[in-house]
A and B are shown apart, each in its own frame.
Chain A
């Protein structure tokens, strides 16, 4: 289990840095939803399926949709 944990945590850090560096906000939202899915797998590895389920529904589903709706109303690229 330790190696799986390590891989997921490293990928999470890479995703978080990518979100911060990205100028394209739509891409950042998609990477954020990947972050949420990885986080959900991590919760599952840490034996909290309850939180994993909520994270997959809220983090990857609803948060991304709300962010995309906001991007549709403002601008796609960061200045």
Chain B
């Protein structure tokens, strides 16, 4: 798209969308939302960038290789935190019994491992959304 207004507005609005996505991911255990919603918002911001500036520029910022690593890394974070529970407490994804500090309920640093799980899910969902859209667009030129 070659419209200066659309490009400028997109440049201004993308950081706010990404900040809101990160906010929702990090506050998954104290307020509505969580890894899935926040990751979808974060992915939407990258899709908006692709839509306005073209797939070539977007591939420079967030290439296929990076999204592959982010996608596998997100699910590996989730699994490894779950496996820690198996070794220390005997159950997959066990929280307090595995020794994660619970903190004060309602504050940001609480909930044991749940914020870490949310970060993993957020990375996974965001990169999946972007990969889906990039694949759909790139297929056109094959």
Q: Mark A58-73, 1 if CB is under 8 A from B, else 0.
A: 1001100110011001
Assess whether A69 is in contact with B37, with CB atoms less than 8 Å apart: no
Q: Name B51's closest neighbour in chain A (CB-CB).
A: A65
**B95 interface residue, CB < 8 Å from A?**
no
**How many CB-defined contacts (below 8 Å) exist between A and B?**
39
What's the minimum C-beta distance from A54 to chain B, rounded to whole angstroms? 5
Assess whether B33 is in contact with A62, with CB atoms less than 8 Å apart: no
B residues contacting the other copy or chain, number (CB 8 A): 18
Contacts A50-B32, A53-B33, A53-B37 hold; do A61 and B44 have CB atoms under 8 A apart? yes
The 5 A-B residue pairs whose C-beta atoms are closest, nearest first, are A49-B32, A57-B40, A53-B37, A50-B32, A54-B37
Assess whether A53 is in contact with B129, with CB atoms less than 8 Å apart: no
Interface residues of A in 13-53 (CB under 8 A from B): 49-50, 52-53
Chain A contact residues, CB within 8 Å of chain B: 49-50, 52-54, 57-58, 61-62, 65-66, 69-70, 73
Assess whether B133 is in contact with A65, with CB atoms less than 8 Å apart: yes
A61 to B39, CA, bound (A): 13
What's the minimum C-beta distance from B119 to chain A, rounded to whole angstroms? 17
Assess whether A66 is in contact with B133, with CB atoms less than 8 Å apart: yes
Assess whether A50 is in contact with B132, with CB atoms less than 8 Å apart: no
Assess whether B43 is in contact with A50, with CB atoms less than 8 Å apart: no
**B47 interface residue, CB < 8 Å from A?**
yes
